[in-house]
Chain A
Amino acid sequence: MSSLIHVARRLALAAPLLLGMSLLVFGLMRVIPGDPAVVVLGYKATPESVRALRETFHLDEPLPRQYLRWLGGVLRGDFGIDYRQNEPIGRMILDRLPVTLELTVLAALAAALIGVPLGLLAGARRGGVADRASLALGLIGISIPDFWLGIMLILVLSLAAGLLPSSGFVAFAESPLENFQYLVLPTLTLAASRAAALGRLTRAAVLDVVHRPFVQFARAKGLGEGAILVRHVLPNAAIPIVTVIGLQVGYMLGGAIVVETIFALPGLGRMTLDAVLERNYPVVQSGLLVVGAMFMVVNLVTDLLYGVIDPRLRRR
């Protein structure tokens, strides 16, 4: 019962936050100097075409009404029309969403599969060779610029060795094998620093638990080290680890902008960045809101997972 209340309260907090986010992105795009219609039409702008565009997109209405019109549309899944391509923005987002999701999910899996075992190994043998090596690796990993790592991977693995494609994308539905080939390098690029961060945190979480009395008791009763790690240490270290995996997925939604640009992947991040560079503000506005909302959902789910993993929190 109380866990239901916890869920309800978290969800209730999400609504005003989303509203605030929509206000922020709308406001940001309106304080940009200049008439959006002139910006969109560029050198082709004539007084008539500007007036027509302003009318089509309701730019002459008061700002609160423009905001409500946009928000109302977004709630119905209608993000408006892209001024440039005359294409529904909602359609553009739906086309690009799967690419970003696939990249993020693959990178999160890779980061967890690399980072968590390394952290466990380091934490279980504190001060050993594995620990020292993973400490250095972890520091370098969180410090390496992802865009540089991506460039280096392209240089070595695709340009010099010719093993993998350097840029582009093939949908999974078209060819699963090619889809995989195109995503190997982007996934590694996005996952590397997150794997390092996850490894560092897993190690700290393990170290926090290994000296607790119940672990010493398990050791005293003769349980093997492997069993202690899996049965007693891991479950107790899981809460911070899950939290950080959640945070890393959120971080990756931001990192995807960079990675999608380097590897020319047609994802949501690149769409938003291209729109920024072209000063295509309606697309920027919707792209920001969608990525921001995804980020918020990831954080919300992480938060709710606490309760599932740690029954103590549920009773509060």
Chain B
Amino acid sequence: MTRGRSPIAMAGLAIVAFLALVAVGAPHALPGSPTAIASAQALRAPTLGEPFGMDDLGRSVLSRVVHGYRVSLGVALAAVAMAVMVGLPLGLLAGYAEGMTDHLIMRPLDILMAFPAILLAIALTSVFGTGVVLVSLALAVVYVPIVARVVRAAVLATKAEVYVEGARAVGAAAPRLVLRHIVPNCVTPLLVQASVLMAIAILVEAALSFLGVGVRPPTPSLGLMLSDGRGFMLQAPWVVVFPGLAILAAVLGFNMLADGLRDWLDPQQGAGR
């Protein structure tokens, strides 16, 4: 089996890149405002000019979906980045030091992992409060233990490798050993995990906003659009169909990317081919 390019990973990357472009270019790409209310246009069905239709206040669903992506991807990216910034050093330290240090770091993190992720996120937002920044923070707290565990496992596996032993034998100092020989081996599993976490973060942010404990209106959020649209979805299905498909596309992109990366990492166990 060759380590060729995984078509799934490429497709995933293409989706993610496209959505990122949409999110970044959103304010410039579309003429319609996501918040401009036009009651005459309320619940108008999709047309060529407005392919996703209008919501109950006459706001463009397409424009709201596109702006929703900014929030969605932004929150997910911030959450994963913060989780890596805290979880990576913790995992490195726990895996490298082992023993008491390992226990002191990992046992408290075990407590965080002892709750279902979405429940912990809800509990944290009830303490932190709602809104874009605080939701990112809550998700980051949920993810720190996951990142630390992945990194710790990679460190433990790498430490046993002969070349690390060798580097130690010729007298490499601990910081050099960790940075030059151990960290590079954590990068790929961390990338796979980060991609999975991005997918879950988009789902959880949307779920939190849907439940009323996430992003606050009038910030356009895909989860909020779904809870707002429920009341009149029979007359105007487009108000719930398109935001949902939008979430699905983003999550699918990151999951495909993760699958592809995993295949590439370990062609024997891969899901593709």
Specify the chain A residue showing the minimal Cβ separation from B245: A148
Given contacts A135-B272, A159-B234, contact A255 B118 (CB under 8 A): yes
> Are the C-beta atoms of A284 and B126 separated by less than 8 Å?
yes
Q: Which residues of B contact A23 (CB under 8 A)?
A: 111
> Are the C-beta atoms of B271 and A145 separated by less than 8 Å?
no
Select the residue from A23, A142, A146 with max chain B CB neighbours within 10 A.
A142
Q: Interface residues of B toward A: which range?
A: 35 or more
Specify the chain A residue showing the minimal Cβ separation from B208: A258
> Are the C-beta atoms of B119 and A254 separated by less than 8 Å?
yes
A253 to B122, CA, bound (A): 13
Whole-angstrom distance from the CB of B225 to the nearest CB of chain A? 10
Q: Which of B8, B119, B240, B248 contacts A144 (CB 8 A)?
A: B248
Q: Does B131 contact A (CB under 8 A)?
A: no
> Are the C-beta atoms of B114 and A258 separated by less than 8 Å?
no
Q: Does A203 contact B (CB under 8 A)?
A: yes
A295 to B119, CA, bound (A): 11
Q: Does A143 contact B (CB under 8 A)?
A: yes
Q: Which residues of B contact A295 (CB under 8 A)?
A: 114-116, 119
Given contacts A32-B126, A148-B244, A204-B269, contact A251 B252 (CB under 8 A): no
A152 to B245, CA, bound (A): 11
A153 to B8, CA, bound (A): 29
Q: Does A160 contact B (CB under 8 A)?
A: yes
> Are the C-beta atoms of B206 and A277 separated by less than 8 Å?
no
> Are the C-beta atoms of B255 and A143 separated by less than 8 Å?
yes
Chain B contacts with A in 61-112, Cβ cutoff 8 A: 107-108, 110-112
A94 to B73, CA, bound (A): 39
A28 to B251, CA, bound (A): 30
Which of these binds chain A: B28-36, B51-59, B153-161, B210-218?
Answer: B210-218
> Are the C-beta atoms of B247 and A296 separated by less than 8 Å?
no
> Are the C-beta atoms of B116 and A145 separated by less than 8 Å?
no
> Are the C-beta atoms of A145 and B126 separated by less than 8 Å?
no
Q: Which of A24, A276, A296 contacts B122 (CB 8 A)?
A: A276
Given contacts A203-B271, A284-B123, A291-B119, contact A148 B248 (CB under 8 A): yes
Whole-angstrom distance from the CB of B23 to the nearest CB of chain A? 18
A28 to B111, CA, bound (A): 13
> Are the C-beta atoms of B210 and A258 separated by less than 8 Å?
yes
Q: Which of B111, B207, B244 contacts A17 (CB 8 A)?
A: B111
Q: Interface residues of A toward B: which range?
A: 35 or more
A-side interface mostly:
helix
> Are the C-beta atoms of B119 and A145 separated by less than 8 Å?
no
Q: Does B3 contact A (CB under 8 A)?
A: no
Q: Which residues of A contact B197 (CB under 8 A)?
A: none
Q: Which residues of B contact A291 (CB under 8 A)?
A: 115-116, 119
Given contacts A139-B256, A291-B115, contact A145 B123 (CB under 8 A): no
Chain A contacts with B in 247-272, Cβ cutoff 8 A: 250-251, 253-255, 257-258, 261, 269, 272
Whole-angstrom distance from the CB of A50 to the nearest CB of chain B? 21
A288 to B122, CA, bound (A): 10
> Are the C-beta atoms of A21 and B111 separated by less than 8 Å?
yes
Chain A contacts with B in 26-43, Cβ cutoff 8 A: 28-29, 31-32
Whole-angstrom distance from the CB of B207 to the nearest CB of chain A? 5
Q: Does A151 contact B (CB under 8 A)?
A: yes
Given contacts A151-B226, A200-B271, contact A254 B124 (CB under 8 A): no
> Are the C-beta atoms of A28 and B114 separated by less than 8 Å?
no
Q: Does B127 contact A (CB under 8 A)?
A: yes
Q: Does A155 contact B (CB under 8 A)?
A: yes
Given contacts A139-B259, A148-B226, contact A155 B234 (CB under 8 A): yes
A296 to B114, CA, bound (A): 6
> Are the C-beta atoms of B116 and A251 separated by less than 8 Å?
yes
Q: Which of A127, A251, A277, A299 contacts B213 (CB 8 A)?
A: A277
A159 to B232, CA, bound (A): 11
Select the residue from B119, B199, B248 with max chain A CB neighbours within 10 A.
B119
Q: Does A207 contact B (CB under 8 A)?
A: yes
> Are the C-beta atoms of B252 and A253 separated by less than 8 Å?
no
Given contacts A32-B127, A145-B207, A159-B234, contact A250 B116 (CB under 8 A): yes
Q: Does A147 contact B (CB under 8 A)?
A: yes
A254 to B117, CA, bound (A): 7
> Are the C-beta atoms of A151 and B240 separated by less than 8 Å?
yes
Q: Which residues of A contact B273 (CB under 8 A)?
A: 127
A-B contact pairs, 28 of them (CB 8 A): A16-B107, A17-B111, A20-B114, A28-B126, A140-B248, A143-B251, A144-B251, A145-B203, A145-B247, A145-B248, A147-B210, A148-B243, A148-B248, A155-B233, A155-B234, A200-B271, A208-B269, A250-B116, A254-B116, A257-B211, A258-B118, A273-B211, A276-B122, A284-B123, A288-B115, A292-B115, A295-B114, A295-B115
> What are the 9 closest A-B residue pairs judged by CB atoms, nearest first?
A254-B116, A148-B244, A20-B111, A143-B251, A143-B252, A254-B118, A276-B126, A292-B115, A159-B234
